[in-house]
Amino acid sequence: MKDSEKLRALIPHWIDHNHEHAAEYLKWAEKAGEGAEKIKEAARALDKVNWSLKQALDDLGGLLEHSPHDLHRHGHHHHHDDVHQHGHDHSHHDG
C-alpha cells in the first residue's frame, strides 16, 4: 500500500478521534470552573486541526472506497478511559 493510501485510511480515523476528544473536553469544561474557557479553546483548536486534516485528505484524493469512516458522523465508537494515555495501541475491534 502506498503512503498516500495509508494516509487516506488514517486521516479519517484521526478526525474521528479528535472529535471524540473535543466532545470530552467540552464535557469536562462544564465542570472546570476557572479553567473552562481554556479547555473550550482546546476543543475549538481540534476543530481547526480537523479542518486541516480534511483539506489534506481532499488533496490526497478523499476517502478510500472501502473506508469504514464517514466524516459526517462523529466517532466510530471505540472507547477510552476518561484519562487518555497516548502511546498505547489504538486497535479497534469493530464487530
If 0-12 CB within 10 Å is exposed, 13-18 middle and 19+ buried, where does residue 15 land? buried
Contact, 68 vs 76, CB < 8 A?
A: yes
pTM for this structure? 0.67
The percentage of the chain sitting over the pLDDT mark of 70, rounded to a whole number, equals 68
**Which tens digits make up the pLDDT trace of 44-80?**
999 999 999 999 999 999 998 866 665 544 444 333 3
